[in-house]
Structure 1
Amino acid sequence: MNQWKNFSKGFLKENPVFVLLLGMCPTLGVTSSAINGLGMGLATTFVLLMSNIVVSLVKSAIPEKVRIPAFIVIIATFVTIVQLTMQAFVPALYKSLGLFIPLIVVNCIVLGRAEAFASKNNVGSSAIDGLGIGLGFTFALVLLGGIREILGSGKIFNITIYPENYVTLVFVLAPGAFIVLGYLIALINRMKKN
């Protein structure tokens, strides 16, 4: 029961984007569309889940002096798997996400969960934590990307919502990411106070 509390905590109360303000580089960089947000979120979720499991399994075998480099090697292994899989099976998404996929290795969300949680807890709890944080990150990216895509192109997931005559181009450009993210964080903070 306590393990599932960690899952919902990572998804809602400690959402990496809206509450902890972590992982801002991919959050702002890839969320020009909902599909990009979904792809990046699922890739990061896979890396979080698998690296948390492996770190939890091998934590006692890693010497204290090389703990962080060992965690980075574990994370880099799963990022490489994601990168090669995306390149082979979804090349358009891979091309769209570009450099942000290899940067998952140094994403503070992934390394932070390996260090703060997986290295101190059992495999089950670590897996649930990774899944909760990863899905919370995915939710944030899809929400941000979806809002930007609707406002900037009149579509979401390539489904036309309203004609392009009424779109505001700034929302699919870099400043739009800051504007939408700022409003979403303000809205979430307002909802938490009530």
Structure 2
Amino acid sequence: MFLLNKCIERLYNGIIKENPTLVLILGMCPTLAVTTSAINGMGMGLTTTAVLVMSNFMISLLRKIIPDKVRMPAYIVIVASFVTVIQMLLEGYLPSLNESLGVYIPLIVVNCIILGRAESYASKNPVVPSIFDGLGMGLGFTLSLTILGALREILGAGTFFGLTVYTEELMPPVSIMVLAPGAFFVLAMVIAVRNKIIRGRKTAAEAGCDKIDCGHCGNTACAGHKTGSAE
């Protein structure tokens, strides 16, 4: 039961609490570069997820064997091996996606999300939780990139996963959304919406305090609007 709870906690942590894109603001290079469409964002996210899970598994498995002085070079060699395998599979079975993602697939080797999880979690924890940590972080990264890619594709091209959503006669596409400035704008918008939702939930929870005199309360979340509170 403890192990199950630990695994669920790692999934929640990666997808919601410490989402690598929307909370930790990591992996910005592929995030801004490849999210011109939903399929590219999902492809990049799932590719990174596969590497994360496998590298976390191997690093956790070898954590007591790898000498501390050479741990970073060892991590890079492990990650690079898995990236090479994934790239060869993409070239063989999904050549169009491999061509779309281009140089950003080899750059997964130095993605700070993967090296960060290897250093901060996989190298210090057992195998199973490390696998779920990589899976949670990867799914959080995939979800973020897919949302960004979908929004940019809909607004900038009028399509969603290649399917037409609206025509130019109905609404001209905002072409800047599929360019570099659009990536920054959409990312900022998604982060703002996410923070607004999380802050709203925290405010709702904190507003249920038992303070009577709001003038002497350090909690400004409810702004003195609690029923029966003194101004």
Same fold (TM over 0.5): yes
TM-score, length-scaled by structure 1: 0.98
Q: Deviations over 1:91-128 (max 9, x none)?
A: 11111100100000000000000110000000100000
Is 1:56 aligned to residue 60 of structure 2?
yes
Q: Tell me by how many angstroms 1:144 deviates.
A: 0.1
Q: Is 1:148 aligned to 2:143, yes or no?
A: no
Q: Structure 1: how far apart are the matches of 2:193 and 2:13?
A: 18
Which structure ranks higher in relative contact order (CA pairs < 8 Å, sequence separation ≥ 6)?
1
Spell out the pairing of 1:81-120 with structure 2 (5 A cutoff): 81-120=85-124
Aligned-residue offset at 1:164: 3.1
- Report % sequence identity: 56
Deviations 1:140-176 (A, max 9, x none): 0000000000000110111111013421100011111
1:73 aligns with 2:77: yes
Residue of structure 2 equivalent to 1:175: 181
Structure 1 residue 191 displacement after superposition: 1.2
Tell me whether 1:188 sits opposite 2:205 in the alignment. Answer: no
Matched, 1:25 2:32: no
Higher mean displacement: 17-26 or 2-11: 2-11
Bigger radius of gyration: 2
* RMSD, aligned CA: 0.7
Amino acid at match of 1:14: E
- C-alpha contact (below 8 Å) 1:62/1:70 kept by paired residues: yes
Between structures 1 and 2, the one with greater helix share: 1
| Alpha carbons 1:170, 1:176 under 8 Å: kept | yes
Tell me the TM-score normalized by structure 2. Answer: 0.83
Q: How far has the Cα of 1:13 moved from its partner?
A: 0.9
Aligned to 2:17: 13
- Kindly provide the amino acid, as one letter, of the partner of residue 151 in structure 1: L
Structure 2 gaps, min length 5: 201-231
Tell me which amino acid in the other structure corresponds to 1:85: L
Distance 1:186 1:37 in 2: 20
The one of 127, 146, 164 equivalent to 1:160 is 164
